[in-house]
């Protein structure tokens, strides 16, 4: 047996610590792990602003990220920033990051290294293995098997994931479907996978906290108009182009509604130009990134997520908690969250006609919207942040026990 330790030291590694789902999941995990039991270190890249090639984030998002950083430090998380740790493939930056990770891990001597997303997962796990870290855990937060990169980059990532899985003790997927996708690409044997949903802090996502009529008035949207909205980074894999084209088709048929896009990214100008070319710019609102996501979401009558790839889509749970009916792509982990006909409608990826029909169906049927929204509100609490952190703690405990590592801290087991 290994000698008892005072606390379990865990290092988390992630590239982009922004307001996206993977970063928020990581933030909640490092913030809420019991510090009487765990000594937690977070290694992150420098973005935002975008070292990774993305459009720089706006001031509001940067302020929110800084608030997360401050909250993590307040909860006794040590942060280490690596300026070369970026999402894109960059040979010299990646080598620099790898050697920096080696140096940090050797100095810190963690019991667990837990990596997040593909790039940090490859570099961080191999650095941990070379440093003989007892336990290596990885959360992909989806996958890059389609929708993100070109053919050769995708094949390279699949090979790297297969090789790196051999040195990984546990792979955490957000949904059963994400696990099945990894098994289909033969990333690792089934016994290495654990399904732990991405936890949501639902305290602000309550319909009774907001007045949609006031929000509509403030934003200049007529009260009788149906509002169709989406939330997410404006990037190709999120599929907002399909939503704009579907809206154009419906408006051409005479449907009256507003389309609201909440989020920012490198495709914002292209999407704005698309709305102009299609002649629907007056019916489309680009709000950029805002810290009051729940307040804006309150004015949505229908929530849409047209992603081409999605590990789980935590914004779906936020929308469900707000009582919003959902239309979403039938891809990745989304069908594990959205049950078609119950709390929303699933449509084929990229099918503009199917999107148009689904939006029209819910626009014309307020009672179906109400029924689906109520069903979603009943389901949302299953995906709480407290439950996620509890399951991660249980996974760590299992792996520590298997490696005969004993913690003698106040709350140790």
Cis preceding linkage at 183, omega within 30: no
pLDDT tens for each residue of 80-95: 999 888 877 788 889 9
Which residue in 33, 50, 52, 42 sits closest to 13, CA to CA? Answer: 42
State the pLDDT at residue 58.
59
Query: Phi and psi at residue 103, in whole multiples of 5°?
Result: -65, -45
pLDDT tens for each residue of 325-379: 999 999 888 998 999 999 999 999 999 999 999 999 999 999 999 999 999 999 9
Tell me how far CA of residue 252 lies from CA of 249, 280, 344, 356, 381, in angstroms: 5, 9, 25, 11, 39
pLDDT tens for each residue of 271-303: 999 999 999 999 999 999 888 889 889 999 999
Number of H helices, E strands in the chain: 15, 13
The Cα–Cα gap between 143 and 146 comes to: 8
Judge whether residue 396 has pLDDT over 50: yes
Domains 8-199+384-402 and 202-382 fall in the same CATH topology: yes
Judge whether residue 35 has pLDDT over 90: yes
pLDDT tens for each residue of 4-22: 678 999 999 999 887 677 8
Helix or strand (DSSP H, E) at 114: strand 112-116
The neighbouring-strand residues paired with 409 are: none
Domain ranges for the chain: 8-199+384-402, 202-382
* The model's pTM: 0.76
State the pLDDT at residue 156.
83
pLDDT tens for each residue of 295-309: 889 999 999 999 998
pLDDT tens for each residue of 133-177: 999 999 998 776 665 566 777 788 889 999 999 999 999 999 898
What 3-state class would DSSP assign to 259?
strand
Q: Which CATH superfamily is domain 202-382 in?
A: Glycogen Phosphorylase B; (3.40.50.2000)
Q: Does domain 8-199+384-402 have CATH number 3.30.70.270?
A: no
């Amino acid at each position: 047996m290994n000698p008892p330790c005072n606390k379990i030291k865990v290092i988390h590694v992630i590239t982009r610590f922004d307001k996206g789902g993977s970063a928020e999941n990581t933030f909640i995990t490092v913030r809420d792990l019991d510090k009487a039991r765990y000594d937690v270190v977070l290694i992150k890249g420098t973005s935002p602003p975008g070292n990774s090639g993305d459009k720089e984030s706006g001031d509001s998002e940067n302020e929110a990220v800084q608030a997360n950083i401050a909250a993590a430090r307040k909860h006794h998380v040590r942060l280490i920033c690596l300026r070369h740790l970026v999402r894109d493939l960059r040979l010299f930056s990646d080598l620099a990051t790898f050697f920096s990770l080696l140096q940090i891990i050797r100095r810190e001597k963690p019991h667990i290294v837990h990596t997040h997303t593909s790039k940090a997962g490859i570099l961080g796990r191999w650095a941990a293995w070379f440093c003989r870290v007892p336990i290596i855990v990885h959360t992909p937060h989806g996958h890059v098997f389609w929708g993100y990169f070109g053919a050769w980059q995708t094949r390279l990532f699949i090979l790297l994931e297969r090789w790196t899985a051999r040195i990984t003790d546990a792979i955490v997927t957000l949904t059963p479907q994400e696990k099945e996708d990894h098994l289909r690409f033969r990333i690792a044997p089934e016994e290495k996978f654990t399904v732990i949903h991405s936890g949501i802090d639902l305290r602000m996502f309550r319909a009774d906290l907001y007045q949609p009529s006031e929000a509509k008035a403030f934003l200049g949207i007529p009260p009788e108009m149906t509002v169709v909205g989406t939330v997410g980074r404006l990037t190709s894999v999120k599929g907002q182009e399909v939503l704009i084209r579907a809206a154009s088709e419906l408006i051409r048929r005479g449907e009256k509604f507003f389309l609201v896009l909440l989020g920012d990214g490198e495709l914002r100008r292209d999407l704005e130009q698309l709305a102009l070319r299609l002649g629907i710019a007056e019916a489309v609102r680009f709000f950029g990134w805002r810290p009051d996501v729940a307040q804006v979401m309150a004015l949505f009558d229908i929530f849409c997520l047209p992603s081409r790839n999605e590990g789980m889509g935590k914004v779906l749970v936020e929308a469900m908690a707000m009582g919003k009916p959902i239309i979403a792509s039938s891809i990745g982990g989304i069908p594990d969250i959205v049950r078609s006909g119950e709390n929303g409608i699933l449509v084929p990826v990229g099918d503009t006609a199917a999107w148009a029909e689904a939006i029209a169906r819910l626009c014309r049927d307020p009672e179906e919207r109400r029924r689906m929204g109520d069903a979603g509100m009943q389901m949302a609490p299953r995906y709480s942040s407290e439950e996620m952190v509890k399951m991660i703690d249980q996974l760590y405990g299992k792996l520590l026990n298997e490696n005969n590592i004993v913690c003698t801290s106040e709350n140790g087991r």
